Amino acid sequence: MKKVLDIMQKRAKQLLGEGIVNRVIGWKTGEFGYDQTPAVFTSAAELSSLVYDSFSAPNLSKYLIEETKKEGKALVFLKPCDTYSFNQLIKEHRIDREKVFVIGVECSGKVDINSLKSRGAVGVIGVEDNGEKVIAHTLYGDMEFAKDDVLLEKCRSCKGKQHMVFDELIIVNPVKEEKNDRFIGVDALDAMTPDERFEFWRGQLLKCIRCNACRNVCPACSCIKCVFDNQNSGVASKASPDTFEEQMYHVIRAFHVAGRCTDCGECTRVCPQDIPLHLLNRKLIKDMNAFYGEYQAGTDTDSRAPLTNYTKEDVEPNVISDKGGDK
Amino acid sequence: MQVENKEFKPTIVAFCCNWCSYAGADLAGTGRMQYPANVKIIRVPCSCRVNPTFILRAFQRGADGVIMCGCHPGDCHYTSGNYYARRRMTMLFDFLDYLGIEKGRTRVEWVSAAEGARFASVMNEFVKNVTELGPNKRITDLRCKMEKEGE
Amino acid sequence: MFKIKKNSLNKLYAAIAEAQTLYIPCNVNGKPNFAVWGEGADVDLASLKTVKSAKEVFFPQCEDIVSFKTKGKEITVIDCRKESEDFVVFGVRACDAKSFEILDKVFLSDPVDTFYKTKREHGTVITLACSRPEESCFCSAFGIDCAEPSGDVATYFSGEYLYWSPKTEKGLNLTNSLKNLLEIANDKDNLALENEQKNIREITKKLPLYGLDLSKWGADDLLEKFNSEKWQELSSACLGCGACTFVCPTCQCYDVRDFDKGNGVQRYRCWDSCMYNDFTMMAHGTPRPTQMQRFRQRFMHKLVYFPSNNGGEFSCVGCGRCVEKCPINMNIVKVIKAFGGEGK
Amino acid sequence: MQKIGVFICWCGSNIAATVDVKRVAEAALHEPGVVYSADYQYMCSESGQTLIKNAIKEKGLTGVVVCSCSPRMHEATFRKAAESCGLNPYMVEIANIREHVSWIHKDIEEATEKAVILMRAAVAKVNLNQSLTAGKSDVVKRALVIGGGIAGIQTAIDIADAGYEVDIVEKKPTIGGKMSQLDKTFPTLDCAACILTPKMVEAASHEKIRIISYSEVESVSGFVGNFTARIKKKPRYVNEALCTGCGICAEKCPSRKSKNEFNEGMDTRGAVYIPFAQAVPKLAVIDPTACIKFKTGKCGLCERNCTAKAIDFNQKEQIIEEKYGAIVVATGFNPIKLDGLEEYGYSQNADVITSLELERLMNAAGPTGGVLLRPSDRQHPHKIVFVQCVGSRGLRPCDKPYCSKICCMYTAKHSMLIREKYPDTEVYVFYIDVRTPGKNFDEFYRRAVEQYGVHYVKGQVGKIVNDGGKLIVHGSDLLMNEQVIIDADLVVLAAAIEPDPTAKSVATMLTASIDTNNFFTEAHPKLRPVESPTAGVFLSGVCQGPKDIPETVAQASAAAVKVVGLLSKDQLTCNPCVAGSNELLCNGCSSCEKVCPYGAISYITKEVRRGDFRRVAFVNEAVCQGCGACTVTCPSGAMDLKGFTNKQIMAEVDAICK
Amino acid sequence: MMNDMLIPVVGVVTDIRRDTPDVKTFRVVGLDGKKCFEHMPGQCAMLSIPGVSEAMFSITSSPTNTEYMEFSIKKCGCLTDWLHSIDVGQQVTVRGPYGNGFPVEEDLKGKNLIFIAGGIGLAPLRSVINYVRANRSNYGKVTIVYGSRSMDDLVDFEEIKNEWANEKDFNVHLTIDRPQEGWDGHVGFVPAYVKELNLNAADTVLLCGPPIMIKFTLAALIELGFNKTQVFTTMELRMKCGIGKCGRCNIGDKYVCKDGPVFRCDQLDEMPAEY
C-alpha cells in the first residue's frame, strides 16, 4: 500500500508540475489514522498529506460534479468501484469528462472502523493492515483481526477489481478477483415471510434519523434539488414524525436511483445508525436482473437502464401479487 | 374481530388511463354493472403517468388498496407508456412486498375501453381481496389514520 | 452514596419503570440508543455513546406543537400540549448531562419554550460516569470531568457495583423511592470508587484529543474568524448532511412544519440542520447559498456566537459523536485545530 | 386560492335518482375554495350552461367543477361554456358521478357519499389548476391514404378534389382492392369493374394524387398536422417510368406455375405479370420467388423482349420519406382462412369454394371466362349449396363473434345470378338469419326467393362429405325441424371477413387503437365514427368494421371531409396538457428523453441563474402528446405534466383517502 | 399551562385594501373584535394559514390604533400568494409581537426624524410615522422620502397624500423611478433624491427598503455628513420561530427576530456580511 501511495504522490506531483492538471482530488490524513477526509490538493507541498490505505473508502466521484464546473483539469484517484459511479455520472451529463484525469488505483478492500469497534476495539489510536491481518492499537491495548472479517460491507460484496474507466492505472500488486454473491442478504430477506420482513425493516428504518447522509453521499443522488427538500414536490419532509415518513423516504430514494445505482455501498458505509441500506438498492438490482436481464449501472456511459427501457414480453406486475406466500 | 371485519370498508384508489381503462369504467357504468362504491377512480392520461409516489401517497393517506389500470400492452394510446408502467409497477410491487407490505394491496390490470364487464369484475375481485386483508396498517401514516378514526 | 450489585440492575430498572417512564440506553436493532425500558429490554450501559444523544428525551426529533381545524374561512386552534408525566433518564454521560445546561440556556431563556420546560421539570437525570473513554472524546476541553458527571443522581461503575449518588432534591426523592433496592456504600467502597475515578482521569490524559486548545475561540475576533479563508478548505468535502447535527447533544435548531392530515393540520417542529441547503431558504432566496457558509455557521455558532451570547460558554461538550459519525471525517476538532487550537 | 363553483347535474333522474344532489351541493360549500354550488336538471343543456356562465360572471369564479357524466362525454362542452365567458377552459374539471356513481350503485347513501368524495377530489384538483394556453403547430397540407381499395380511392379522390395533395400507399402492385375482384354488385347488379375502374383511372390521373403502389408504410412519427412517414417501396424489377404495360413480358415468361392472386389462385400467371387488365398503375411486376432469372441466374426472356427496356433485375427497395398533415387508414379486409373450420372440408374438396372464388368463376375475366364450371372437373354444377355465416357469429376460437354483414346480400346476388344464367341449377342457401337492412335490400332478397326460386333453408350445415364427386351436405332445417341431406355439385361458403393482417402493425405505428377483432376503434362509436382516437388519423372502409360498398364509399367520403377540414387549417391548436421541465430543478440527466415516445424532449444549455449554465431538458410542446412517461422517470421532479401535475394528482389522492 | 409563543391565536381579516398591483394591506382583529396583542412600532408578527405556511410580517399600523392591526404584504411566495387571494372574513393565525421595534421612546424622542423608504419598505415605517403623528409633541420635524418603481407602486399613497402631507411640520417627498403620465412629482432613485434634498445631517434617519437601496442610500447619507449611529434600519429575514431559538435568523451572534429587526447602521458593521 505504501508503495502505491508513493507512486500516487509522485505522479500527482508530476502532473501538477507539468500543468496537465491544476489540482488533485484524493484522501487526506486525519486524527486517528483511520479518519480520512476527501480533499483537494493544489500544490506539491500539500500532497504530503495525501494518503491511500485501508481506510480510503470515500468514493470521490461525486465531488467531480462541482469540481468539473471549475476551471482547469482535476486529477482524481478512483478505486475500481468508484469508476462505476464515475461512468454513471458521465452518462447523466453531470461530469465533464474532459476536465478530469482519472488515475485508477488498486484496491484490496477497505476496513470498516465500526466493525473494529463493534468487535471490542475501543479507543483506537492507530491501525495497521498487513494484507491478512488488521491490528488496532487502542488505548486499552492492541487487538488483531482477520482482514476479511472487518471489511466494509461494500468490499465484502466487491463488484470486481477492474476499473471501468481510467486514464492511467496504478497497480503494484494485482489483486485477485474473488467471487462473492452480493445478493445473499437480499435472498435471505426474500426467503422470510412478509411478517418477518416487515418486522426487520420496521426495526431498521425506525432507527433512521433522517440525517440525509445516505442521500448526500450517494453519487446517484445528484439532483440539483432533491424532492425531499423541495417544498413544491408534495413529498418534502425533514424528519420522521411518523414511521411512514421513513418508508416513504427510503422507498422513493431507492426508486429514484433504481437502474442508476451502481451499488457502490456508500449509503451503508455512512449511515450513523448502521441501517443496511444497500439491501434496499440491491433488491431492486436483483429484480431488474431477474426480470429484465443482467444490468450493471456504470459499466459504460451509453446503455439504457432497465427502467427507461422495455420489451413487449416483459413480465406482468401481477407476478408479484400472484406469487406464492401469504398475503 | 369478525364483526369488525364485516364493518370494514376499504378505501380503494384506482388510477385509470384516459384512453382505455377510464373508458372501460365508463362502459361499466353505461352497462349498469355494479361494483363497490369503495373504488374511487383518478383519471390519468396514461398508466405511465402514475408515479410510484402517488401509490405511496395513497397508502399514507389511508388507502387500503391501490389498483392501476391501463391499456393492454401493445394497445397504449401513446405506444409505449404502459410498457414503462409495467416495469415500474413490477419493481414497486416487489419492493413493497420486500418491505413486508401485503402484496394483495396493490394490483395492475389492463382493461380496454371495450371491457366494461371486466372492469367491474376486476374491481369486485380487488375489493374482495383487500377487504379480506383488512385495514392497511403497515404502510400508512398514523397521523392520518388517527384523524380518520377520531371522527 | 449508595450502591447496587450489577446483577440486580434489572430490578432497579423495573422499580423505576413501575412509577414512571424510564429512558435508558438499549441496543435497538444493533445500535445503542435511548429507549423506553420494558421487560426484556437489551440495556446497553457498556457502550460509551448512544448514537443519538440524550437530548431527544427533552427535545424530541419531532414534536407536535399545535393543531388546527379549518372549515370554510374559519380556523380553530387546538392546543394539544400536555403537562409531561414524570420520567427518568438513566445512563446519561457527563457530556450529555452538560448539554442539558446548554439547551436550558436556549429553551428556558425568555420567552420560555413550554414544551421543553415541562419535560425538564418532570425528568430526573441519572448520569453515569465513563469507564472507558474513547479516542474521539474531548469533553475535558470544556472542563467536563467524565468520571464525575452532574445530574440529579450520579452513578459510577466500579467492580461488582453500580454506585449511586443523589445530587439534587429530585435525585433524593427518586433515591428514597428506591431505598429497598439500594445499599449504603461504606468507606471501602468510596475508596475503591475514588481509585476508579483516578484511573479514568489518567486515561483521559492519554486521549489523542486531550488538551485541545480552545483559547483561540470565544466571542472575540468574530469578524476575523468569519472572514477567514480557512473555511473554504475545511468545508470542501462536506456533504451537507445532518449527521453531525442530529447526533449532537447541543444542536437545537428546529424547523416548524405543517402536516395536512386530511381533516386538520398538525403543526409540528422537528430537528433541523444548519448544514442543510434549505435551512435558511425563504421566498426570496437564501442568505447562505454555499455549503461553506452553512458549514461556517455551524462552527461559528458553537464556538463564537453562542459564547458571545452566553458568557463565554461554548455550545459543544466534546462528546465526539460528530467526530465518529461524519461520513467524510470532517469535524469540530479539525476546525478548532485549523484556527490554531493545537492539541497536546 | 381559487374561487370555485360546483355544479351538480341531475341528468334527469340518471343521477338524481341515486345521488342526493342537494347534499352534494351542500357538502361542496365546505370544501376549500368553493364559493358557490348549485344543482340543475341538465347541466349540459343550454339553460344549464347559462347557469354556469352566469355564476362565473356574477361570483367571479376562477374554477369550475361540474359533477355530471363522464368527462369523455361533456368535458369539452363545459370547457367551451367557461371559455365563452372568459374563464380559461382548463380551469374546469368534471367529477364523473354518473358512469362512476349513479349508474353502478343502487344505495342512495353510498352513492351520495361517493359522489361527495369525487366532487371533493375534483375541487382539490381545481384548487391547483392553472390556466393553460394551447400552443400552435403548422399543418402539412398533404394526406396519406394507407390502402388503395375502393375506400382509399374514394377518400383520396375527395381530398384531392378539395385541392390537397394525397398519396395512396398500396401494398399490392395495383390499386382496386377487393372490389376489383367482384363480378357484379348488389342490389343493382351492375358490374363491379364498370363502376370501379373509372374511379381507379380518375385517381391515377388526378394531378393531386400520387399512387405509391407495391409499397408499405414502414414507420410513422410525428403528430397531427405534422406526421412523417417512411414508405418502403418494394422492387418491381420493372422501371415504372419506362414500362408501357404492353404485357409482352408476361406473355413471354416461361415460368407459368405461380398462382394468380387476382383469380384467388384458381389459375396461374407468369413470374412477370400484370395483375389484371385494368390494373392501375398498369405496370408489370416480377415475382422474384417464381422468376427463373432470380432463381438460376439464367433466362431474362422478358428483358430481351421488352422494347421499352423497362426490366431491371437490379432494382432495390426504396424508402420514400414524406410529411403529411393527416393519415387515413383504409386497409380493408380479407376473407378468413377456412382451414380451421373442418366441418366444411374446404381444404379437402376443390368444389367447396368461397364466395370470392365464386365471384371469379362467374366473372368474364376469371379463370373460366365467366362460365360457371366447378373447379374439380370443370363441369357445370347442377346443384349448388350456399352456406352462410361461415366463421361469422360463432363462439369457437376459430370463429369471429361478429356478423360479417355483406354475406346475406351477396349470396342472394349469387343465387339469383346463377338461377338467371343457368335455370337448370338448383340453389340451396343454408342460413341462420337473413339480414337485409338496407335500401332495396329486402326486396332484392325476396326476388331471389320468390322470383328465382332459390331454396332458403334456415339451419346450419354440420358436415360436408365428398362421395365420389358429389358433395353430401348434412344440414338441418330448423323450420321443418328435420335433417336435410343434399348431394351438391358445388358448395359455396360465405366466409367471414376480417381486417387485413397489416391492420395491427399499422395501428401500432399510428398509435391508433384497435379492438379485440383488430378492427380500428373510432374516436366515438356514434358521433365520431370516421376518426380514430389518435388525432389526425382517420378511418375509411372495412378496417373500421364490416361494410358493403355503398357504406364504404360513404365512410370514405366522410373521412375525406374530416381530412379536408383538418388540412384547411393553417395551424392547429395543440393539446395544452403537455409536459414541461422546470429548469431550476432539471439535472439534464437525459432520463426523460429516453422514455419519450415522440422524441419531444431535447437538451439545451441554458443560463438558468446568472452565471450558472446548465444542460436542461426542453419539451417541444407541439410534439408532446402529454402521456407523462417523462414525469415519472425524472428523479428531481423537474418534469411535470400540465393539467395532470404531481401536486394535482396527489391532491386528488388526498381528497379520496381522507 | 403557560402560553407558548409558538402557539398562535386566531384573527379575522376584516378589511383588505389593494395598495399597489402586488401589495395588499390586511386589517386583522381577534375573534373577540379586539386587537390580538399590543406592539411597538417596527415590531413584527407571524401570520399563517394552517397548511400553507407561516411567515413574519411587520405590523404597519401604529400601536396607537386601538382597534386593529394592519399588515401590508407584497405578493412574493406561497403564503403571500394565498393571502392575496382571500376575501374579507377569512381567518388567519397570528402570533407575536416579535423583535425590538424602533426606539421610539428612547433614541428617537425629541429628535427631528427623516423617514426614507423604498417600495414595500414603507410598511414598517408607516407604523412609526403614525405613532409619531399620534404623539406629535414628543418629536421634532418629520421628513418623509419615499420612492417606488412607479406611481402605482407607492404603498399607502392616499394616506400619504391626504393625511401625512397635511400634517404640521411634515415634509413629504415622493419620487418614482421613471417618468410616468399623470405624475408631476420628482422622478429618480431614492439615493440620488436624498442627496438632492440636502437633508439635515443632525437629524435621525429611519431607513427601510430593498438591500440595494439601503446600501446606496446609506452611502448618500454618509456623504451628506450623517453618522451611521444616526441611521436605523430594519431587516425582516428568514425568521421561523420568532423567539431566537430555531437558529435560523442569526447574523453572527445577533438574532434578527430577537435582537432585531431594527438595527442601528453602525451595529451592522460589526455583524458578518451574511444577509
pLDDT band per the 50, 70, 90 thresholds, residue B144: confident
Model confidence at D398: pLDDT above 80: yes
Contact A223 D588 (CB under 8 A): no
Tell me: pLDDT of C70 over 90.
no
Domain assignment present for residue E275? The answer is no
How is domain D4-126 classified at the CATH fold level?
Answer: Rossmann fold (3.40.50)
B149 shares contact with chain C (CB less than 8 Å) = no
| Residue E163 lies inside a defined structural domain of this protein | yes
**CATH of region D579-642:** 3.30.70.3270
Is E59 found in the same domain as E190? no
Determine the pLDDT at residue E237. 63
Same domain, E64 and E129: no
Residue E156 lies in a domain: yes
| Digit-coded pLDDT (tens) for D89-119 | 999 999 999 999 999 999 999 999 999 999 9
Chain D residues close to B46, C-beta within 8 Å: 627-629
Q: What is the 3-state secondary structure (H, E, C) of E88-124?
A: CCCEEEEEEEECCCCCCCCCCCCCCEEEEEEHHHHHH
Q: Which CATH class is domain D143-229+319-332+510-567?
A: alpha beta
DSSP D589-622: -SHHHHH-TT--EEEEEEEEETTEEEEEEEE-TT
Q: Which residues does chain D have within 8 Å of residue B24's beta carbon, measured at their own beta carbons?
A: none
pLDDT value of position D13:
94
Question: Tens of pLDDT along A212-265?
Answer: 999 999 999 999 999 999 888 888 888 777 778 888 899 999 999 999 999 999
Mean pLDDT for the stretch of residues E21-27: 93
Q: What is the mean pLDDT of chain D?
A: 93
Report pLDDT for A324.
61
Does one domain contain both E144 and E94?
A: no
Q: Helix, strand, coil % (nearest 5) of chain A?
A: 40, 15, 50
Distance CA D312, CA A128 (A): 82
Looking at the complex, report in whole angstroms how far the Cα of residue C284 sits from the nearest Cα belonging to chain A: 14
> Which residue in C61, C133, C236 is closest to A40 by CB distance?
C236
Checking if the pLDDT of E274 tops 80, the result is no
Contact B143 C259 (CB under 8 A): yes
- Looking at the domain assignment, is residue A157 inside a domain? no
The CA-atom distances, in angstroms, between D582 and each of D64, D577, D618, E118 are 27, 15, 9, 32
- CA dist D383 to A41, D380, D445, Å? 102, 9, 20
**CATH number, domain at E41?**
2.40.30.10
Sheet of D482-488, strand order? D461-467, D470-477, D482-488
Q: What is the pTM of this model?
A: 0.81
Examine the domain organization and report whether A198 and A274 are in the same domain.
yes
Cβ–Cβ contacts within 10 Å for residue E264, how many? 15
pLDDT score for E41: 93
Average pLDDT, chain C: 93
Q: Domain check: are A140 and A270 in the same one?
A: no
CB contact under 8 A, A245 and B141: yes
Per CB-CB distance under 8 Å, the chain B contacts of C63 are: none
In C199-229, which positions are buried (b, 16+ CB within 10 angstroms) versus exposed (e)? ebeebbeebbbbebebeebbbeebeebbeee
Cβ-based contacts of A228 with chain B (< 8 Å):
none
Chain D nearest-CA residue for E80: D1
Q: What are phi and psi of D269, to 5 degrees?
A: -140, 175
Taking contacts as CB-CB distances below 8 angstroms, the residues of chain C near B147 are 261-264
What are the tens digits of pLDDT across the range D450-460?
A: 999 999 999 99
Min distance A117 CA to chain D CA atoms (Å): 37
C-alpha–C-alpha distance, residues C144 and C169, integer Å: 22
A295-321: average pLDDT: 90
DSSP category for residue A34: S
pLDDT at site A255: 94
pLDDT in tens, A121-179: 999 999 999 888 999 999 999 999 999 999 999 999 999 999 999 999 999 988 888 88
Residue window 42-81, chain A: list those with CB within 8 Å of chain B.
none
Q: Is the model's pLDDT at B149 over the cut of 70?
A: no
* Residue A175, pLDDT score: 85
For residue E1, being part of any structural domain is answered with no
pLDDT of D507 over the 90 cut:
no
Q: What are phi and psi for residue D337, nearest 5 degrees?
A: -75, 140
The pLDDT value given to residue B4: 47
Three-state secondary structure along chain C? CEEEEHHHHHHHHHHHHHHCEEEEEEEECCEEEEEECCCCCCECCCCCCCCCCCHHHHCCCEEEEEEEEEECCEEEEECCCCCCCCEEEEEECHHHHHHHHHHHHHHCCCCCCHHHHHHHHHEEEEEECCCCCCCCCCHHHHCCCCCCCCCCEEEEEECCEEEEEECCHHHHHHHHHCCCCCEECCHHHHHHHHHHHHHHHHHHHHCCCCCCCCCCCCCCCHHHHHCCCHHHHHHCCCCCCCHHHHHCCCCCCEEEEEEECCCCEEEEEEECCCCCCCCCCECCECCCCCHHHHHHHHHHHHHHHHHHHCCCCCCCCCCCHHHHHCCCCCCHHHHHHHCCCCCC
What homologous superfamily does CATH list for D337-498? Answer: FAD/NAD(P)-binding domain (3.50.50.60)
Question: Which has the higher per-residue pLDDT, A239 or D202?
Answer: D202
In this complex, is the C-beta atom of C263 within 8 Å of any C-beta atom belonging to chain B? yes
> For residue A132, is it within any domain?
yes
Reported as a single tens digit per residue, the pLDDT across D249-262 is 999 999 988 999 99
Chain B, nearest residue to C266 by Cα: B143
pLDDT at B3: 43
Whether D556 and D150 have beta carbons less than 8 Å apart is answered as yes
| pLDDT category of residue A23 using cuts at 50, 70 and 90 | very high
In tens, the pLDDT along D338-384 reads: 988 889 999 999 999 999 999 999 999 999 999 999 999 999 999 99
B60 vs A contacts (CB less than 8 Å): 244, 248
Query: Residues E143, E260: one domain?
Result: yes
Question: Taking 70 as the threshold, does the pLDDT of residue C175 lie above it?
Answer: yes
Check whether B151 has a pLDDT greater than 60. no
Instruction: Please indicate, yes or no, whether residues A75 and A127 belong to a single structural domain of this protein.
Output: no
Neighbours of chain D (3+ CB pairs under 8 A): A, B, C, E
- Chain D and chain B touch, per 3+ beta carbon pairs within 8 A: yes
Listed in sequence order, the DSSP H helices in B33-75 are 52-60
Same domain, E177 and E46: no
Domains detected in chain B: 2-150 (3.40.50)
Domain encompassing residue E73: 9-98
Confidence tier at D498 by pLDDT (50, 70, 90): very high
Q: Are residues E170 and E83 in the same domain?
A: no
Q: Inform me whether the C-beta atom of residue A210 falls under 8 Å from chain C C-beta atoms.
A: yes
In a shared domain, residues A96 and A137: no
State percent of chain D over pLDDT 70.
100
Quick check: is A179 in a domain?
Answer: no
Residues A220 and A309 in one domain: yes
User: Cell 492505472, residue?
Assistant: A169
pLDDT value at position D604? 93
What interface predicted TM-score (ipTM) does this complex get? 0.93
Which residue among A252, A287, A321 places its CB closest to the CB of B107? A321
E79-E80-E82 Cα angle (round to 5): 65
Is residue A44 domain-resident? yes
Dist. CA D348–CA D356, nearest whole Å? 18
Same-domain pairing of A166 and A18: yes
Could you list the residue range(s) of the whole structural domain that residue A310 is in?
184-316
Asked whether residue A280 falls in the same domain as residue A305, the answer is yes
Give A-chain residues touching B109 at CB under 8 angstroms. 318
**What's D310's DSSP letter?**
-
Domain co-membership, A198 together with A311: yes
Per-domain residue ranges of chain D = 4-126, 143-229+319-332+510-567, 248-305, 337-498, 579-642
Q: How crowded is residue E269: how many other Cβ atoms within 10 Å of its Cβ?
A: 10
The answer to whether residue A81 sits within a structural domain is yes
Residue at E104 is within a domain: no
CA–CA min distance A297, chain D (Å)? 14
| A253 inside 8 A of chain B by CB | no
Cβ-based contacts under 8 A for chains B and C: 15
Per-residue model confidence as pLDDT tens digits over B35-47 = 999 999 999 999 9
Alpha-carbon distances of C39 from A181, C92, C179, C282, rounded to whole Å? 39, 21, 21, 48
Q: What is the pLDDT of residue E236?
A: 65
> Does residue D189 come out as left (phi exceeding 0), alpha (psi in the -120 to 50 range) or beta?
left
pLDDT, position A270:
96
- Determine whether the interchain pair A320/B74 forms a contact, defined as Cβ–Cβ distance below 8 Å: no
Neighbours of chain B (3+ CB pairs under 8 A): A, C, D
| Average pLDDT, integer, range D283-287 | 95
Task: Look at residue C263 and tell me whether its pLDDT is greater than 90.
Answer: no
Specify the pLDDT at position D164.
97
- Pick the more confident residue, B5 or A161: A161
D337-498 against D579-642: fold identical: no
Higher-pLDDT residue of D605, D526: D605
User: C181-203 pLDDT, tens per residue?
Assistant: 999 999 999 999 999 999 999 99
Question: Does E141 share its domain with E183?
Answer: yes
pLDDT tens column, D72-87: 889 999 999 999 999 9
Considering the domain architecture, whether residues A27 and A137 belong to the same structural domain is answered as no
What span, in angstroms and rounded, lies between the C-alpha atoms of E59 and D538?
A: 64
